[in-house]
Amino acid sequence: MTKLLTSSPLDWTGNVTTIYENRLKKIVFINSNSISNYYKKMEKERASCTMLNQKIGFIGGGNMARAIFDGIVRKGLVNTNQIYVSGPRIENLNYFKDKGCTITISNGAVVDSCHIIFLSVKPHLLHLVANQINEESKEKWDDKVFVSILAGITIENIESVFKSPINLVRVMPNTAVSVGEGCSVFVPNVRTDLKVVQLIKIILESCGMALEVPENQINAMGALAGSGPAYMCLILEALADGGVKMGIPRANAIKLATQTMLGSAKMVQISGKHSAELKDEVCSAGGSTIAGIHELEKGGVRAAIIDAIEAAAKRSIEMDRTFSLAHNTQALKK
């Protein structure tokens, strides 16, 4: 196993190196709007082409850690030798080891070696992980930032389990970050410097969209965007199943359903039209599409999706309450 080395403190003021090629000469501008749009596009590209010098750690190497790792490496934000991962499951660690990352079973070693530490374990494991970090870490944390992707657990509850004050950004990403099309909402705690928050935003935007929100909205937004890929894949699967039932080979049905979902999302994103207007444009009077829409409405599809988002948001709140209860019980025992 590669030995973990303690890193020097993070310089938040300028430790970012841009590797970006200006491509202005390849563009022919038509008007001022095209120039404005071009620069907006280039700024987005510039953010995705920024190479960070900081070391990034993952406490936990499960699906979401992999998704974020795949996204930031795919965009060239870091080299794999800047990544440190800890966890108890060797099969998860080997995924990262095979890609050139440093792996360890010591959570404290990852904290001491990295500037940015993703807390990417299941919410019910936070107490255990925090205790291990508190015992194993020998470094001061003033120049580090913890990034929590634990569903439901509030900033206050995360802060309460660590031995020292921490810089903390709570994030709710989704698995589409792995292909650069993610949707992440985030909120920093009060002690985290604006430059640190901007750095975390750069990381998240390299994997898709990132939006800073009030903490009281993050569970609802997580239920929509964080859980959304599961809903979309279920709907995609149902579309394909419908095609198979009508005689389309499954491979073709999946291709058609996938491209239809992708194209529909792009129309909403690019056209500026309301989704209801785009739907109406497909529904010809007396046609086949409106007949299909009628069946979906009879089946309560719209209400079922609304109920799903409400249920997911409520479950996130329940997980935080359960965590609070367990934390308070432990505190009383001490």
Residues 334 and 323: their CA atoms lie apart, in Å, by 17
Strand 50-52 and strand 56-59: pairing?
A: unpaired
Strand 102-104 and strand 167-172: pairing?
A: unpaired
Question: At which of 188, 214, 240 does a domain end?
Answer: 214
Give the distance from CA 78 to its chain's centroid: 17
Token pair listed for 116: 């940015």
**Per-residue pLDDT at 126:** 94
Same domain, 193 and 129: yes
* C-alpha atoms less than 13 angstroms from C-alpha of 304 in its C-beta half-sphere: 9
Same domain, 196 and 235: no
**Per-residue pLDDT at 330:** 65
Question: At which of 190, 214, 238 does a domain end?
Answer: 214
- Owning domain of residue 20: 16-214
Residues 85 and 295: their CA atoms lie apart, in Å, by 48
Residues 298 and 205: their CA atoms lie apart, in Å, by 39
**Per-residue pLDDT at 333:** 61
Same domain, 72 and 124: yes
Same domain, 136 and 38: yes
State the pTM of this model: 0.79
Same domain, 77 and 127: yes
Q: What CATH number is associated with residue 73? A: 3.40.50.720
- Across the chain, which has 334 residues, the per-10-residue mean pLDDT values are 39 38 34 46 48 91 93 90 94 94 96 97 93 94 96 94 95 93 96 94 93 95 95 98 98 98 96 96 97 97 97 93 74 57
Whether 186 maps to a domain, the answer reads yes
Residue 4 dihedral angles phi and psi, to the nearest 5°: -85, 135
Strand 182-188 and strand 116-119: pairing?
A: unpaired
Whether 220 maps to a domain, the answer reads no
How many domains in the chain? 2
Token pair listed for 85: 């991962």
**Per-residue pLDDT at 6:** 36
**Per-residue pLDDT at 324:** 79
State the residue for tokens 């030995």. Answer: 3
Closest CA to 232 of 263, 274, 261: 261
